[in-house]
Structure 1
């Protein structure tokens, strides 16, 4: 009994120490991108005790993280609501940063679970990925996962990276495909999240796959209205915007076709530490994946971005309507 108590205390201390390290890392990353404050400190919401036994097997609280854009925060809140309803103790650590930051948190135990996108994850783990279909991309990601992490069931819901221009730019330059930019990109400014400049399916991929090299790159916050505003106002001529962003339709923006599949399938999938996986956790998250579609995710993003609703409230409504 004494050994068990000591083990529990040690895990709590290790988690708190790791969370402190991740907080410092995320703060540095966000500061470099123009962000302020520490999201791991300010946006953490505890919904269970540190060493709760909500699953009935003595398991610690499942700490759910999110990347630093609204859709991922929404998905994290959906996971939290579904797990809580299943009797699992959860807490949330939202708006951590880019994949480069939150993957470190998953590996050091600061967070246990995050909503992921199969194509982005697979490319991050193996820049030489050639797969494009949902099944093959998922397999690529699974084959290269760090020890101690696993993917659960994928959702049919997909949110892909896309290269987007205004209708005026598309008409003026005759653009329907990324390939159409080859001879014109040198005079244009590309906008996107800071990491898009260095990721293999970002600036480098555009050059390698399509021979498209923009005159300059302007870093903008991922998934934010700032990107759309910069595009509409002419501060950038093309932008990396996620396909479920309601601003695309609202502003009559044009998604350029990607005939060479630079942007692989991006199905939403829970990425989770094997240490916290049990039947209650797995069943709850699989139910979320089964209920999510691209259509209902896009509709929820209208509620969050266009209508300004709280992601936690939108998530609760989704879980109540689809998982009960």
Structure 2
């Protein structure tokens, strides 16, 4: 998962940060790949606003819980009544709950969501992805403004492997992949194997499910190439090298609220769009350092970010 924009800023932020996850169209999917952390207690808050309670859900990995807490508290700050249902599970479960109205708001990743709806989509940029998403979402569901913040797939190697093979991009693996073991989340092979063949002409020696241990498996030599998310602090901590993706196999992965429109009014929509306007990749990475490395409570981290952004 690897956005290459804001590389300098992201590299600095990663030195301070810890993170979890995102995916791309047809790719490894954080909303399907992560193991659940202990769930924060569900809560409800009756703000000054009238109307239905907005139910904010999340997938079962730390970054999505953090984003959901930011959304929840931003809504509450505007007087919206909120119920939190965090750490639910994968997109397959969450999407159905949004359609039914059991959930109102979910932090999504635009490229991953498009891949879920249309595995054949070739859209890569934020605007192109969002245009297709809006056309493919069923009546009753909508995306709001996407944040600049992006948590994206990468194909990553150790510095030693990069030097030994002389590789800087995925394309450089041509003629070498057949001798390499690649690892990632359990669904990485089924979603990506054919794409690597079609886009880059790569056939790997073996596909090994490594889940959340992919970065460590790279460092330990159990695999030579791994699917690591760009906000994972281990990229810097373990001196790993995300390979460039010149053919854009991995699509945009902007943090984007997915909502059930029947349950969200103009006040709620404005509150969530205000979050997207402030949240960037470096900021999200720094927040995730506090959650994933420093083990701070996601709710407290969300609260401090909202205060600093002037949204509380």
TM-score by length of 2: 0.83
Q: Which residue of 1 aligns with 2:231?
A: 244
- Give the secondary-structure state (helix, strand or coil) at the position aligned to 2:246: coil
Max Rg structure: 1
Q: Which residue of 1 aligns with 2:303?
A: 316
Q: CA deviation at 1:44?
A: 6.0
Point out the more displaced range, 115-124 or 210-219: 210-219
Structure 2 counterparts to residues 166-185 of structure 1, below 5 A: 166-185=158-177
Count of aligned pairs:
280
Matched, 1:70 2:70: no
In the TM superposition, structure 1's runs of 4+ consecutive aligned residues that sit over 6 Å from their partners are none
Contact 1:189/1:238 (CA < 8 Å) preserved in 2?
A: yes
Structure 2 counterparts to residues 71-110 of structure 1, below 5 A: 71-110=63-102
Matched, 1:299 2:286: yes
Distance 1:33 1:66, change over 3 A: closer
Q: Which residue of 2 aligns with 1:206?
A: 196
Show CA shifts across 1:51-75 (max 9, x none).
x6x463331x222222232211211
Cα distance in structure 2, aligned partners of 1:142 and 1:63 = 22
Distance 1:281 1:306, change over 3 A: same
- Give the secondary-structure state (helix, strand or coil) at the position aligned to 2:88: coil
Distance 1:287 1:128, change over 3 A: same
Distance 1:175 1:286, change over 3 A: same
Distance 1:191 1:110, change over 3 A: farther
- Give the secondary-structure state (helix, strand or coil) at the position aligned to 1:244: coil
- Give the secondary-structure state (helix, strand or coil) at the position aligned to 2:41: strand
Matched, 1:216 2:219: no
- In structure 2, stretches of 5+ residues that fail to align are 1-31
Contact 2:49/2:81 (CA < 8 Å) preserved in 1?
A: no
TM-score by length of 1: 0.80
Q: Which residue of 2 aligns with 1:289?
A: 276
- What is the RMSD of the two structures over their aligned residues, measured on CA atoms? 2.2
Q: Which residue of 1 aligns with 2:256?
A: 269
Cα distance in structure 2, aligned partners of 1:34 and 1:123 = 18
- In structure 1, stretches of 5+ residues that fail to align are 1-31
Cα distance in structure 1, aligned partners of 2:57 and 2:194 = 28
Q: Which has the higher contact order (CA 8 A, sep 6+)?
A: 2
Contact 1:81/1:316 (CA < 8 Å) preserved in 2?
A: yes
Cα distance in structure 2, aligned partners of 1:88 and 1:98 = 26
Cα distance in structure 2, aligned partners of 1:301 and 1:34 = 15
Matched, 1:161 2:153: yes
Q: Which residue of 2 aligns with 1:14?
A: none
Q: CA deviation at 1:35?
A: 5.4
Q: CA deviation at 1:34?
A: 10
Q: CA deviation at 1:188?
A: 2.0
